[in-house]
Structure 1
Amino acid sequence: MRRWSASTFSLFADVFGVLFILLILTSAVYWFVQRPVFLLKGVDVQVEGNKDAINVKDVAQVLDGHIHGNYFTADLSEIADQFKRIPWVRDVSIGRVWPNQLQATLYLHHPIAVWGDEKLLAEDGTLFVANQEIAESKGALPKIFGPVDRRMEIYKQYQAFEDTCRKLGYDVTSLTYSEYSGWTLHFKRPEGKVIKLVLKKGENSAQMDERLIKIIESLPAISAQIGAEPTELDARYEKGIAVLKPAPEEETVSPEDTVQDTGDKKNGR
């Protein structure tokens, strides 16, 4: 039978001693972590961006059933993912506040245009669906249409058109790009009617800008020639522009005039 030496017994004693101490420490840490004082009492939410876009109901809805554990054990990445379900949220920063709070900062998208019929275009190129009335609470956004993979190129062209139009007293309301029909620009004076202008594709931004300036500067002459400001201009031709004259407004008859006329007929006048 093999005999154990004193040194071997001493080694085993040391190992078991260390394990016992680790067990005691682990139990103490577990006991400490589970104290009621560390139970989460709430999340302090701060918003960087349009604060009207986020309300308490939105936050409560996305967090419902997703906050587990306490100050030490709460899964911050899971909570951040829930915040990102709110359409306006671009990014989230979340941390712990001793001894029982969480603090989250929500960084919101900054919309720069309305894309298509439903979506908003953010300055980083993200498309998201959110309340357009809130997005336009501080001013109307331009309407942008076209192939989704060219959205930022279309927006940059809108900016170029807008800069040119503003210098000449007009505002751009929408811009559409189509591989078939080219660029369709809608612009107007602050208190005027919208004018539709079609420019052919293939020209670079500088060429289109030069052509736009010439067209806007020629609008008074065109209006004088046709007797009214045009509603549509097609500038895809090499020599000349196709102009659509607005339809004449029909005269309306007021109800008072109708009653008076009827009465006159009855009186034989």
Structure 2
Amino acid sequence: MATLLKFDNISFTYDSERERTTILSQHDCEIKENEFVSLVGLSGCGKSTVVKLMAGLYQPTSGEIEFNGGANERLGHVSLMPQQDMLMPWRTITENAALPLEIQGVRIKEAEQQVHEYLPSFGLEGVAQAFPDQLSGGMRQRVSFLRAMLGGHHLLLLDEPFSALDAFTRREMQLWLTDTWQEWGRSIFLITHDIEEAIFLSDRIFIMEKGQTGPFQEIVVPFERPRPNNLHLTKEFIELRSKITELLFKKETNEK
């Protein structure tokens, strides 16, 4: 698979009143076309900063971020879905999902027509004219996914999108996402604290440590797709989860 986004010797630091903090130093990584990559790490290590660098919201202190083989504009090609759904309460579900198309200059009627084409595959065909406060948390997240998918034609950046959901809804959304994302023709980069979620959804997993120097430690997920619902009960899954957990806390111990 061709490389879609690449960090080339990226460093990122920021200054506070008391000190200078380094999030990344001389860091390299890449995301390939049509793959699902997750980033796991302990709280406070800078995972959200990585996503904001990928989205173009932050600029690196040094190094280059390449997109599609060069320093190309990412607007309209990369979209970021934050932890909260951020739906506008005065807009209908259709109008919320159509927002990125409107920003790109698509006429409102045409934008809403595009949204309607995707509503069935997102399980939203019965709520097109509903407002956000009329939907459950899981349904609101589906709207947010649709909006993000329409806003980024190549790469979706997901910053813990399921963290606010209850356990049952979270599992339902994981199953839905792993069943449908390949139909979208997008790469996905997911931040999560949930190791099981990362394994179940991903092709590769990056492990981040505080003050990351050099490339992430990388785990290739060996399970074929489609993945069975009971994958998390298998011996191989449990062993991989234990390995990643050990790596995360080993890094924390070494830092101390």
Q: TM-score range by the shorter chain?
A: under 0.3
Higher RCO, 1 vs 2 (CA within 8 Å, ≥6 residues apart): 2
- Which has the larger Rg? 1
Normalising to structure 2: TM-score of the pair?
0.26
